[in-house]
Structure formats: structure tokens, C-alpha cells
Amino acid sequence: MSATLNAHQFGRLLERTAGHIADESIPRLHGVRLETDDTFLYAIASDRYTLAVARYRHHGLTSAPFARTLPARALASLRHWAADQPGGDPVTVTLAENRIRFTSPQGELGVGVDDSREYFGWRGVLRGVIDQLPADAEDPFPVFDTRLLARWTGADHYLRLRVTADRQGALLVGEDFLGAQMPVRSRHDGFDTGLADDLDQARTLWDDALGDAPAAAMPDSMPAVRHPSHDASRAVAETAEGLLRQTLSSTHDLIQETNISPAAVAAHASSGVTAWMAFRYLEALHHADPKLAVRIVTETAEQLDDGALGEFAYDAAAGAGYNPEEWQEELEAHKAARQGQ
């Protein structure tokens, strides 16, 4: 089972999709899927929030179509290998048992794959997206420069995007933020003639690839993220809710429980006070700098999931000019005094 295309096209397949792969928390999406049909070699990648599919015509299949997922750990070396090949040289993609071989006149590279790993129905997802608008609708279908789209990453963590009309600017709305991006208006602005001119043409170009796959929604048909139940939240609103819940739970237990030890009373009080302080600090930070709040919540969640809080706190204390060793000595002296009493 093999298909052949030139080295430039093969490298572009990986380049155009590798940025969309999911992390290791979704094993089925942690890589780039290669699939063939009678005409094209496809590369597919998704992180459940974006989906990218690129394709090039191959020079013919030697047998039945095939599909395998290239693991993320192999992509760096494979992309480097592809970049080292002269662009016009043929690259043959050959499927073997638990392996894919990439062969060119300059050499060969093998990548181990899991033959049993399934993938989601990406054709149905794209069918659902492309069929959201009726074929005869006069809807906007402007061309945007992706290099300019990247400029919005500094505006906000989330933005609403509204395409208003064909050949007109797109509207972007954030928290205390408003923006617009002009589309590319003509080929003099540099866009390629290979782009579809309208939605109907896009449907026609991809109709054979999508086939009769039933339309599917992205969140429902893609593998879910399977974080352990103890993972800390990476969202500001969810973190704030958790802190408020913790405050109310601790103060409720402190008031309602009558037969608890002094140590338990101290623990409930400390938990409630700490959660309330954290909520107020997070609330203030989010109002002052929402983007910084998102970054801090994410970094804190990663530290909590790591579990080495003592090490983080020790380093932070030492970095701030305190003496954590002296704190530990004071704690031990306090414990010894209490035991003596």
C-alpha cells in the first residue's frame, strides 16, 4: 500500500496541519492523520477546537486506500527529513505492519504507528460546517490574510468574530475592545488563484472527498479530553466559582459542625479564609488585566497538577528574599512547644 507525491507537497501537508494537533490528553488526536483515496493524499489534524485538512493529488495508489495516524513525537524528525529532500523529488508513502515508510531518492525514514488506532469522522464534521449555509444564499465569503489574523492574539484571550459582507471588513469584539480586519480584495494583493471564489465552488471542490458523510457537530463527534478528576481548572470563571464554593463549604462546616476538634476548626477556618482571599485577588486581577489573569490561572493549574507545591513555595520564598529555612525552624519549635504542653 503506497502513494507518491513530490517532497515539497509532502512537507506542506505536515506544515499546514501540525499546528492543530491535540496534546497527549487526547491520544487519538495527538498526531497527524494520513489518509488516501483514489485521487488525493490527505493530512488531518485537530485539537477539538480547530480542524485542518490539507491534500495533494498523488501519482497513483499501488493498492487499496489506507489511513494511519502519525504520532506527534515523530513529526519533528519527519518534517526535518522532508525539508532536506529536493522539492521536486518523489516521496513514496508506504504502509507496512505497525509502520509507515517514507522513501525518496535521497533516503528513507520509518515511523512506527498504531494500526488499531481509530480516528473521528472528520468528513462529517466538515460536511456539517460547510452545509450550515444554503447553497443559494448570498453570504459573505471573503479572503483573509492569515498573517494578519495572527495579530489579534494580543488583543484578548477570546474575541467574537463577525464576517459582515463579501469584500468587506470582519468585525472583532472583545472585552473593552473593538477591531476590524480588511479582506484581500484582489489577486494584486497576493492571494492565489487556487482559492475557491465562493461557497458553491468550495462545496464542489470537496464534495467527492466528503462523500455522503452525515453532518456532525465538532464537540459531539470528536474524542473528549480526559483530564483526571483532580486536575485544577484553567479557566478564570471556573476557578473563581471553585474558590467561592470552597469558602462557603468551609464556613458552613465551621458553623454547623459542633463535635469537631480544635485542629479541625482551625483547618476549616484557614481553608475558608484562604479561599476567600484568593477569590478577591483573582477578581481584582481579572478586572485589572484579564489576559494576565488567564495566564496566572493556567500556570497555577499546571503547578497544582504537578504537585510539587512545597518546592514551588520554597523557591518563591527564597526568590523574594525570605528565609524559608528559618520558617521551618520556627514551625518545628512551635510543634515542640505544643507537645511539651
d(CA 163, CA 182) in angstroms, rounded, equals 10
Per-residue pLDDT of the chain (341 residues; tens, 9 = 90+): 889 999 999 999 999 999 899 988 899 999 999 999 989 999 999 988 889 999 999 988 888 889 999 999 999 999 999 999 998 899 999 998 899 999 999 999 999 999 888 899 999 888 888 777 665 556 667 788 888 888 888 777 778 888 877 677 888 887 767 888 888 765 555 555 567 777 778 888 888 888 877 888 777 777 776 655 556 777 888 888 888 988 888 887 667 766 777 777 788 888 889 999 999 999 898 888 877 888 898 888 888 888 788 888 888 889 989 898 998 888 888 778 877 76
Dist. CA 121–CA 25, nearest whole Å: 19
Q: For 152, what's the count of Cα atoms within 13 Å in the CB-facing half-sphere? A: 19
Does 3.10.150.10 match the CATH number of domain 2-112? yes
Q: How far apart are CA 218 and CA 284, in angstroms?
A: 35
User: Residue 214 has what DSSP assignment?
Assistant: P
pTM of the model: 0.68
Vertex 148: Cα angle to 145 and 153 (nearest 5): 135
C-alpha distances (whole Å) from 133 to each of 50, 127, 199, 200, 239 are 19, 11, 9, 10, 37
Tens digits of residue pLDDT in 63-98: 888 999 999 999 999 999 999 999 889 999 999 889
End-to-end CA distance of the chain: 80
Domain edges within the chain: 2-112, 142-192, 236-340
| 171 class by beta-carbon count within 10 Å (0-12 exposed, 13-18 middle, 19+ buried) | middle
